[in-house]
Chain A
Amino acid sequence: MPMAAEEIETMIRAAIPDAEVEITDLAGDGDHYAARVVAESFRGLPRVRQHQRVYEALGGRMGGVLHALQLTTACPQ
């Protein structure tokens, strides 16, 4: 079962409360997404750690039910 965009967004926000999350359904098939996550709490973290925090928020779904999530992370400007 693919995941709905809202579900992805809700899980990320629940784990990273200061995150601004933007989800794009790349193929319109509910299975290939891009996510941009901007959070002040990312500041000072290496990029790998920022992505790991998002993956942790998705609780093991990444690489499983969620195959294709292009991820971009950043700190607020």
Chain B
Amino acid sequence: MTDDARSRIDSTVKGNDVVLFMKGTPLFPQCGFSSRAVAILEHLGVEYASVDVLQDQAVRQGIKEYSDWPTIPQLYVKGEFIGGSDIMMEMYENGELSQLLQDQGVTTAQ
């Protein structure tokens, strides 16, 4: 990964409480997994930043190295990698995700 991509990813991840790296945008997700991740965050009513990796090849590749995670979407809360859409779904269903957001002081609608 280029230093430029790493520093851009790093500042996005650290500069936002909740960030979703995804394919497409929250309004127009370009992949079922990204769509599912967006739906979870919308259900929780949490404010989040999103990055469309399809618009940036360096970030699309770089984010996989950054987290040592081979797929997109990827969720970060307070600078920490939380998981992809399967982990998000599991944590959403058992209440862990809203608990985590609450513990981290992130405001949700629930």
Contacts and interface: CB of A to CB of B under 8 A. Distances in A.
B86 A70 contact: yes
Interface of B: 32-33, 64, 68-72, 81-84, 86-87, 90-91
A57 B84 CA distance: 17
Given A48-B81, A48-B83, A72-B86, A62 B68 contact: no
30 contacts: A47-B87, A47-B90, A47-B91, A48-B69, A48-B81, A48-B82, A48-B83, A48-B87, A51-B69, A51-B83, A51-B84, A51-B86, A51-B87, A52-B68, A55-B69, A55-B70, A60-B70, A62-B70, A62-B71, A63-B64, A63-B70, A63-B71, A63-B72, A64-B70, A68-B32, A68-B33, A70-B86, A71-B86, A72-B86, A72-B90
A34 B72 CA distance: 16
A77 to B, nearest CB: 15
Interface in A27-77: 47-48, 51-52, 55, 60, 62-64, 68, 70-72
